[in-house]
Amino acid sequence: MTAQIIDGKAFAATVREKVAGHVARLKEENGITPGLAVVLVGEDPASQVYVRSKGKQTVEVGMNSYEHKLDVDTPEANLLALIDKLNNDPAVHGILVQLPLPGHLNEDLVINSIDPAKDVDGFHISNVGLLGTGQKSMVPCTPLGCLMMLRDHHGSLSGLDAVVIGRSNIVGKPMAQLLLGESCTVTIAHSRTKDLPEVVKRADIVVAAVGRPEMVPGDWIKEAATVIDVGINRIDAPEKGEGKTRLVGDVHFESAAAVAGAITPVPGGVGPMTIACLLANTVTACCRANG
Ligand code: GUN
């Protein structure tokens, strides 16, 4: 293996420390405690794990955490009424509605009912537009975490060729916007892209966000490229025993690490950065709300 491992777990710990410092100063100097409200509709097990983790880390950095758990069949009007209440609550600086929502709820309508200034996910259409036009916005947490790791590793990203594999609203599209903002030459690749291996081979930076286990093999990667693996996929691991599973990314780690200059592992890469950036966004929202 030649690649440097980009340790997202350690990086996230430093981000949380900085956030905790900001929170302490806001309390001491302004008497303000940032507050994050997380709304979970239904009992999706993966979402429950994420929400629990977000709440725990929010409290650990000294912020207030408000968890709202609603029944799976909650009428849309009730969810919108809760969001309206949180929008008007001065103790709440950030609001996150955990996705995916149950099928009867209109995700776009719900997200766009959040006050854009409290939209710590950066999913509101106003924040999407602000990011796309290079204006001050709330930036989606996962791409923000990826960008922080890339900046830390490279310094300037100006002029580098970046390929983002995946065109989701949550990761792929905002990631591409952020890289464009850093003056990268950006390609967004997806399931219909022709000659994907060739496209990836041109890239100095590869961000894989497709949700397909180990889809990107090492021989697609350019020598010394930086590889950011956003995928978190659980696959069978019979070598660990019957019924056992393990987590893998969208990149085949061993083969990619043999050619890349730097790579994020799964787990311990992008994942921990996402919640750290959520906490950072909540402090940002709090500071903006209080001038
Ligand atoms: N579900 C999976 N990732 C996310 C995220 O970043 N934000 C929200 N709100 N829901 C998610």
Tens of pLDDT along 207-247? 999 999 999 999 999 999 999 999 999 999 999 999 999 99
In Å, what is the CA distance from 202 to each residue of 197, 224, 225? 9, 11, 9
Name every residue whose Cβ is closer than 8 Å to that of residue 207 and which is 6 or more positions away in sequence.
146, 162, 163, 164, 165, 166, 175, 179, 228, 230
Domain range list for the chain: 32-120, 141-272
For ligand 1, atom 1, which residue shows the shortest CA distance?
99
121 is catalytic: yes
119 is catalytic: no
8 neighbors 273 (Cβ within 8 angstroms)? yes
| Residue to mutate (ligand 1; options 39, 44, 49, 50; most atoms within 8 A of CB) | 50
Residue 1 pLDDT greater than 80, yes or no? no
Q: Which ligand 1 atom sits closest to the C-alpha of 274?
A: 6
Distance 99 CA to ligand 1 centre (A): 5
- From the list 57, 118, 119, 121, the catalytic residue is 121
Among 77, 45, 88, 82, residue whose Cα is nearest residue 67: 82
Instruction: Tell me what the mean pLDDT of segment 179-203 comes to.
Output: 98
Residue 41 pLDDT greater than 80, yes or no? yes
Among 246, 186, 196, 245, residue whose Cα is nearest residue 216: 196
Q: Could you tell me the sign of the dihedral formed by the alpha carbons of 194, 199, 251, 242, in that order? A: positive
Residue 181 pLDDT greater than 90, yes or no? yes
Residue 291, pLDDT score: 80
What does the mean pLDDT of the chain come to? 97
Which residues surround ligand 1 with Cβ inside 6 Å?
96-99, 121, 141-142, 170
Q: Going by DSSP bridges, is the β-strand pair 226-229/205-208 parallel, antiparallel, or unpaired?
A: parallel
Tens of pLDDT along 48-94? 999 999 999 999 999 999 999 999 999 999 999 999 999 999 999 99
Which CATH topology does 32-120 take? Answer: Rossmann fold (3.40.50)
| 32-120 against 141-272: fold identical | yes
| Residue to mutate (ligand 1; options 57, 98, 139; most atoms within 8 A of CB) | 98
Which CATH topology does 141-272 take? Answer: Rossmann fold (3.40.50)
CA angle 170/172/173 to nearest 5° reads: 80
Q: Is 89 exposed, middle or buried (0-12, 13-18, 19+ CB in 10 A)?
A: middle
Q: Quick one: residue 195, left, alpha or beta (phi over 0 = left, psi -120 to 50 = alpha)?
A: left
Q: Which ligand 1 atom sits closest to the C-alpha of 142?
A: 6
- The answer to whether the predicted template modeling score (pTM) of the entire model surpasses 0.95 is yes
- From the list 98, 177, 204, 250, the catalytic residue is 98
